[in-house]
Structures are given as structure tokens and as C-alpha cells.
Amino acid sequence: MRFRHRVTTAALLGAVVLPLAVACGDGQAGPDTLVVYSGRHEGLVGGLLDRLEQHTGMPVEVRYGGSAEMAAQILEEGDGTSADLFFSQDAGALGALSEQGRLEPLPQDVLGLVPQQYRADDGTWVATSARARVVAYDPDQVSEADLPRSVDDVVDPKWRGKVGFAPTNASWQAFVTGLRVLRGDEAARQWLNDFAANEPQRYKNNLAVLDAVDSGQVAMGLINHYYWYERIAEQGENRVNAKLHFVGGDDPLALVNVAGVGVLSGNDSDEAARKAVRFLLSQEAQRYFADETAEYPVIEGVSSSKHDLPPLTEIQSPDLDLSRLSTLQQTLRMLQEAGLS
């Protein structure tokens, strides 16, 4: 049996900020409306979610906010939540809701569409797309022989002041949570202290990290893979100086996280919610993720026609129960203690 970390409503609510109230609104949707709480940004998935009404046969209302914020909102609302479906940017927020009994099991024919490592052990959520943690690097400063082979290489003193990261970004926080789960808190705390002592450069988001690598401000940056592929698609590979390195080797720096979806327990639109999940796992939606967001599809037989991604099966990501990424509050405290928040 896998050990499950409990996440209280109060702990998750610590992540809620004022913009959530604006994102969710104060009104209650009607009983004949499918309400989606989306932790994914409207600019990324709005075009896809606009198609849900056609595929569910029901009016759809989408409320946007951060994934942790939306999960906290659902827990706070309890049985009175308007949400029928939760579309999360990461597995951790889905795991937190599942632990609190807020997600209902999905049908087996839906679960069977997705590889076992990309769905909840209890069947309460499935991945809709995947993203790999990678190292962007400046080839003028980093030779192939010097590329990091593990997370420990990143804290080598030779990279002092030459590594960029985005401390407030959810993908960085999920990576640190994965490091904690894989190596234990004490080893993760030591790595964070070593990383902080190496004077990494802080940026507001992953795009800014990639910009810094591309311009030579830093030698390396810790990002998700799709930022680089989107940049290549926009500008052409010959106009992008930064290169991409997949660490692999079951290392924490090779973490593959997922966006995913779950149906809320006791929702008012159960059949439509399940249809929405099936749509997000359809070839149409999976091609959208592959082409429009440069993420990895999670069903067989779909690949990108725009981005030359290495196969997901070749990344050698660590064996990790992604639901355990729900322990975000412990991670945030550890980051604060290390001066990396």
C-alpha cells in the first residue's frame, strides 16, 4: 500500500490569493450547466475548453485560477461547490482533492486509455497531458561533456551564479516536491541549501529563465520542455541560441509531471462531466495538447505534427506516484527556510 499524505483544507487555503475570487465569481451556475474549475491558463486551453459544450451536450461555464487555489476553493466550498469538473495544471492538486474524498472514481473504460503511471491509484483522476522537467543551456558556456547528468551536478560550485530558476513557478515547486518524495526531506533540504549557496539567478517565470539562457545571462536554466519547443516553433531553431537537455536516468531532474482532470463527488452534471473527461482524452484534444501547447499526449497513437519531441517513453523519468506531489505546503516551508521562495 502506498503511503498517502493528508492535506487539510486550512493548509491548502494558505495558497489562496485575492485573484481567485475574481476568477471564480460569486454567482451560482444553474443545474443544467457543466461547471469547470480550471487551474490551467485560459490562454493555453481556452480554445479547447470552448469545444466542451459541443461534446457534452450541455452549456459549459469555465472558471480559471491557479490549480492550488482552485483545489482550496473546492475544499472550502465543500458539498456546496458549483464545480462539476476540476482541470488541474499538476497532479499534486488532484491528489489533494482525492485524499479528501472530493473526487469520484472514473469509469474503467476511461482509466484504461491512460498508462497506469499517469492516473490515480484509486481511479479518481487521469492525466490529460504530460510535461518533462529539463535543463535549457547556452552552448557557448556549457559543453556537452559538462551537461548535468543528475540533479546533484547542478549544485557543482563551477555553476555558481550561472543557473536560472523561477522560484514562484508551480513547476519548480512540483520538482522540489518530487525531490522530497524521492530522496526524503533531509536530503532534499541539503540539496536546496547547496543550491542556494550556489547563488542561482531568480526569474519571474520559465519564459524569463529561457530568455536569460538564450541571451547568455546564465549558463543553464531549470524549466519545462514545452517552453523551448514553443520558442522554436515561433522563431525557428536557427534563431534560438538556447539548447535543451533531458537528464534522464531516473533522476529527480527528469521528473515528468502531468496536467489532469477529475470529476467532483456529488456533482450536478455527472454524465456530462464524464463526457468532458472522455473528450479531453480524445484524439482531437490530445492533438491540441501536442500541437498547440507542445505537451506530451497521454494516449497511444497521437503525436505532434509541429514539434519534434523525443518519445515520452525514452525520458527515463523517476518512478513516482504523482499523487504524492500533493504535499506542496511542506515544500513551500522548506523553500522558505532555504531562502528560495
Residues whose CB falls within 8 Å of the CB of residue 136, separated by 6 or more in sequence, listed in order: 209, 210, 213, 214, 220, 221, 222, 223, 227, 228, 242, 243, 244, 245
Is 226 annotated to bind a ligand? Reply is yes
Q: How far, rounded to the nearest angstrom, does the alpha carbon of residue 177 sit from its chain's CA centroid?
A: 12
The SS3 call for residue 163 is: strand
Place of cell 547556452: 138
Is 229 annotated to bind a ligand? Reply is no
Is 227 annotated to bind a ligand? Reply is yes
270: exposed, middle or buried (Cβ count in 10 Å: 0-12, 13-18, 19+): middle
For residue 334, give the DSSP letter.
H
| Whole-Å CA distances, 290 to 57, 93, 299 | 25, 23, 11
Name the nearest CA neighbour of 84 among 266, 278, 260.
266
Annotation: binding site for Fe cation: 41, 226-227
Annotation: binding site: 41, 226-227
